[in-house]
Structure 1
Amino acid sequence: MQPQANEKYQYSSEWIHKLENERHWQYYHFQQSLIQKHVEHKESILEVGIGSSFTYNYLKSKNYNIISMDIDADKKPDIVANIVSDDLPANIDTILAFEVFEHIPYDEYMLALKKAKDSGVKKLIISMPLNIKVWFDFDIRLHVFGRIAFQIATRRNKLTTNHHHWEIGYQKYRFNKIKQDITEQGFKIINDCRKFSQHFFVLSTE
């Protein structure tokens, strides 16, 4: 399926029918490690932006209480809705949104955070891309030294993905601004970490 015509919210479901590359599978593993560290089974979870459904299906298989929401009906989420303009489901403890918010204008991303906070959500686990060109990286775990990661990257200073409105480090969207805007919406950043060309945040309202 080709990207949708709406200039504000551009997305595609074509990629979910293809084998994802090894790096994407590593992102899935990293997402799961954050979720298992910060989310309890008793919590009700909403995944916004279901993608290939890998995260949703994996958490279901581990008996997590999860439902999905996506603007794209072709991805077959439990709820077809826009996180900016539509109501969130009631009684959600945790929202997952991986590689979602860069697909909407930044001011609307702020509105989405405010809506989540006002709805009573206790926790958000999100990721967003860094505006970098990666020239070389490796990530290896050694029995003696533990995990060793190394990367050579430079700032892009442009958006190379048609579906993105912004990325961390692009123009005015510096990392410090991203963190400040998150806290100004009433969230505490209880974990933030980088994995390859994505930055992950675990946010709490408590």
Structure 2
Amino acid sequence: MNLTKQVDSSHYEFQSYMDKGRWTSVWHQLDEVIKLKPDKVLEIGPGPGLFKKLAGQFNVKVETLDLDPELNPDHVGSALALPFDDATYDVVCAFQMLEHLPYSDALLAFKDMVRVSRRHVVISLPDSERVNRVQVQIPKIAAFDRLIPKRGSKPEEHRFDGEHYWEINKLDYLLEKVTKDLSSICRLVKTYRVKENPYHRFFIFDK
């Protein structure tokens, strides 16, 4: 598949792109990667480059790759043919990126991410299942914070919107299927949704 960019660099302007939910997701990006104590990280699809800038403040060296040279990545190239040797990076990550490829190509891209990683792969993907966040706090006794699926919510057919070819928990892309397919390529350590932004689901893999 010949990849072409889907959005211009103006897509990443602050007021339209960086809402509070996305900031929370960036915190999880940093938390998951930094605690792995990597020496060298590759991020595929860096967007505005925020992850790299913030990770650098915590002495984590991040290199970026993107198809679009206007985003000033360290490497210009395709996620389907990463121009790196096997086991080049301690951690390879891609946040809200793989859904921009047809599903079969997304799995090929993930497989190549695993190839160039020495230890870990960290990704996030859109999860379309509708949920309510329920929080209950009783001081000094207990705290409850859960995402509860909305009653009557059913998977819908996904239609390409110019950016996303698929999303988790759309018809044909239920969580169980996506998890099984990814886990067949690399060992899954954990997956979870960001409570403040449940549209973003994280997956942490270990080689």
**TM-score normalised over the length of structure 2:** 0.81
Q: Which residue of 2 aligns with 1:127?
A: 124
Give the match for residue 190 of structure 1.
Answer: 189
Instruction: Please report the TM-score for the alignment, with normalisation by the length of structure 1.
Output: 0.82
Q: CA RMSD in A?
A: 2.7
What aligned pairs does 1:107-146 form with structure 2 within 5 A after superposition?
Answer: 107-133=104-130, 137=133, 144=140, 145-146=142-143
Any conservation in 2 of the 1:133–1:156 contact (CA below 8 Å)?
no
User: Residues 101-155 of structure 1: CA distance to partner in whole angstroms, max 9, x if unpaired?
Assistant: 0001111111112223333532100010012356x54779886445624456434
Q: How many residues align?
A: 196
Aligned-residue offset at 1:69 = 0.8
Q: Give the Å deviation of 1:99.
A: 0.2
- Which residues of structure 1 form unaligned runs of 5+? 1-5
CA distance in 2, matches of 1:141, 1:45: 38
Identity of aligned residues (%): 20
Instruction: Specify the alignment match of 2:201 in structure 1.
Output: 199
Deviant stretches of 4+, over 6 Å: 138-143
Q: Is the 8 A contact 1:8 1:105 kept in 2?
A: no
Unaligned runs of 5+ residues in structure 2 are none
2:89 is paired with a residue of what secondary structure? coil
Alignment of 1:11-50 (within 5 A): 11-19=7-15, 20-37=18-35, 39-41=36-38, 43-50=39-46
Select the residue among 80, 85, 110 that pairs with 2:81.
85
Letter in 1 for 2:106: Y
Deviation at 1:9, TM superposition (A): 5.4
Closer, same or farther: CA 63–122 of 1 in aligned 2, 3 Å = same
